[in-house]
Structure 1
């Protein structure tokens, strides 16, 4: 299925990276569902900007019933089931190394919040998408990960553990869903310049990371979105269960 034939749902698309991903799909002619939890004004403004092929819909991805309703509303509006899901929604988190939870004080509740957002959220969207994807014998699931579990330059224990679990889910789902024509992959970035989540990062950290990459730059949300498009496109049709690190070459393994 070509990109301009797809109905794409991007979670957490009202702002930051999700917004860039939604714009990238819309630029390719896809119909786009802009999911949001609290960023109503930004999500609706983005939908207005992108035109009739975009729709802003609220849902908390950790709520399975709300996600089922989200997919039903998307299908009712566009007249067909969602073909492509990008799991981008992030539980409340700030990439501020100075303010991060330390090993002697971090609580299980911190881990639980991140697992709810990353793993439970992705499970809910995949389960809601499966009936429609199976009727089409086509589906694309792209999960947003991080390079921090390969290179924990800043030890965000809770966030990193949840994303590592999401990679495991990516690979196990790929094995189960491949016979249905559904691929499941992950795109992992490092620090992005700049999103709401990375806005608390000191400029000196961005400069340090840029100097450590072969490209001498920090990846932007727009550049990251390009890789998401690849996993949704026909050019990745034989690729599933993979994790593509998009960070300017900072992590190479």
Structure 2
């Protein structure tokens, strides 16, 4: 299915990386559902910019199955067709400040539970809500957003990293289970991006160190990361499922 024929849900699309991903799909002619939890004003503004006939902003907490079900119903009523591509980008509130994060001897399991509920629980909710429509359409695509930190744990984001590692496991088991239905499930994992809301306060010196550590000698941009997400949603990757593509300029090599 070409991008122009897809109805794409991007969770956490009101800000940060999700906003760039939603914008990229819109630029390629896809219809886009921009999910948000708190960034409603920004999500609605982007939907209007993409075009009212091709984009709608809908609020929902992805950890709440009832809200997710309502989002899918509203999207189908708005566009008259089911969501066929899901990008699981939404993340529970998190401070990306390595110096301020709890170390191994201090962190409590509650921190892990919060991240697991948001990252893995949210993905389970959106994927399961999408399955009936994808099956009606004869297939679909799921792209989960990961991180290179579980392969290169240079910052002690223990809870965040563990939840993303669990999401990779879910990516592979769901890919195996849903493949016979023509539904592909993949992951795109990045590192430091220049620049999103999460990295806005990152000192230039840190960007310089990361850039010097990559073969490409540059820090990946959100637009470059979004392009990889579009690849997994496109027909170009129609034989690819259960994979994790690291998009970080070669800092981590599989």
Q: Shared topology, TM-score over 0.5?
A: yes
Whole-angstrom distance in 2 between the partners of 1:42 and 1:62: 21
Q: CA-to-partner distance for each residue in 1:6-61, whole Å, 9 max, x for gaps? A: 00000000011001000110111100000000001110111111112010000000
Whole-angstrom distance in 1 between the partners of 2:80 and 2:180: 25
Aligned positions of 1:1-253 closer than 5 A: 1-52=1-52, 53-253=54-254
Whole-angstrom distance in 1 between the partners of 2:34 and 2:174: 24
CA drift of 1:203 comes to: 2.5
Whole-angstrom distance in 1 between the partners of 2:224 and 2:189: 12
Whole-angstrom distance in 1 between the partners of 2:95 and 2:207: 15
CA contact under 8 A between 1:97 and 1:201: conserved in structure 2?
Answer: no
Whole-angstrom distance in 2 between the partners of 1:198 and 1:16: 9
Q: CA-to-partner distance for each residue in 1:196-215, whole Å, 9 max, x for gaps? A: 12224332221110110011
CA drift of 1:107 comes to: 1.1
Give the secondary structure class of the aligned counterpart of 1:9: strand
CA drift of 1:93 comes to: 1.0
User: Which deviates the most, 203-212 or 9-18?
Assistant: 203-212
CA contact under 8 A between 1:94 and 1:200: conserved in structure 2?
Answer: no
Q: CA-to-partner distance for each residue in 1:106-162, whole Å, 9 max, x for gaps? A: 111111111011100000000000000001111000000000000001121000000
Whole-angstrom distance in 2 between the partners of 1:5 and 1:244: 24
TM-score (norm 1): 0.98
Whole-angstrom distance in 1 between the partners of 2:117 and 2:242: 21
Whole-angstrom distance in 2 between the partners of 1:220 and 1:34: 21
CA contact under 8 A between 1:213 and 1:250: conserved in structure 2?
Answer: yes
Whole-angstrom distance in 1 between the partners of 2:149 and 2:125: 24
Gaps of 5+ in 1: none
Whole-angstrom distance in 2 between the partners of 1:203 and 1:110: 29
CA contact under 8 A between 1:84 and 1:141: conserved in structure 2?
Answer: yes
CA drift of 1:194 comes to: 1.5
- List structure 1 segments (4+ residues) > 3 angstroms apart after TM superposition: none
CA drift of 1:195 comes to: 1.4
Give the secondary structure class of the aligned counterpart of 2:249: coil
Gaps of 5+ in 2: none
Whole-angstrom distance in 2 between the partners of 1:96 and 1:131: 40
User: Which deviates the most, 91-100 or 239-248?
Assistant: 91-100
TM-score (norm 2): 0.98
Q: Aligned-residue CA RMSD in angstroms? A: 0.8
